[in-house]
Amino acid sequence: MKKYYVFVALIALTAPAVTLNAQGGRGGGGRGGAPVANVPAPTSPVTGNAASGKALYATYGCYACHGYNGETGARAFVGRWGNLATEQGFVTFLRGRANVAPLAPSTSMPSFSDTALSDKQAKDIYAYIRTFKSTAPELKDIPTLNAIVDAAKQEKK
């Protein structure tokens, strides 16, 4: 019976980490697909103003899906940069979906035409999100999780 409780505790503690990792999906965020390895932030040039971008990130409600640090929420992107690899790629992503209406939308992200969000504003938001850094520890660096795994591996009498 003790093995059962150790197993349940292990599942309960690892499920959130597995869920967060799986949110990356294919192509930099979203639901579904195989987990994507955590990759370093892009190093491409940034021309926007991060301080202005922070205010715009809040005003346009980006945090609702991406969290306040890009690591949480339904569409986390830190470590799964996808369309955020370059500033121009980010602006193109926003415009391509807003200016060309596909029959079946590829994401549930709102559309942002150049009249709804200027290029300068989009670049400011991009500058702000490029300041985000991953704070998630490696699974091997979580002592409680490792203790539970070790306990589960031990043969009980």
Contact 148, 10 (CB under 8 A): yes
| Per-residue pLDDT tens over the stretch 108-150 | 677 788 888 999 999 999 999 999 887 777 888 888 988 998 8
Helices (H), the chain: 2-22, 50-59, 63-66, 87-99, 119-129, 143-153
| Per-residue pLDDT tens over the stretch 66-119 | 999 988 888 888 878 877 889 998 898 887 765 555 555 556 677 788 888 999
Query: Average pLDDT of 8-25?
Result: 42
Q: Quote the pLDDT of residue 155.
A: 77
Query: Average pLDDT of 30-54?
Result: 73
Taking the model in full, what pTM does it have? 0.62
Residue 94 CA to residue 98 CA, distance in Å, equals 6
Q: Quote the pLDDT of residue 105.
A: 56
Q: Which fold has domain 2-153?
A: Cytochrome Bc1 Complex; Chain D, domain 2 (1.10.760)
Q: How many other C-beta atoms can be found within 10 angstroms of the C-beta atom of residue 53?
A: 23
Type of residue numbered 103: L
| 3-7, 8-12, 28-32, 103-107: which is most confident | 103-107
Q: Quote the pLDDT of residue 31.
A: 41
Q: Quote the pLDDT of residue 100.
A: 56
Q: Quote the pLDDT of residue 17.
A: 42
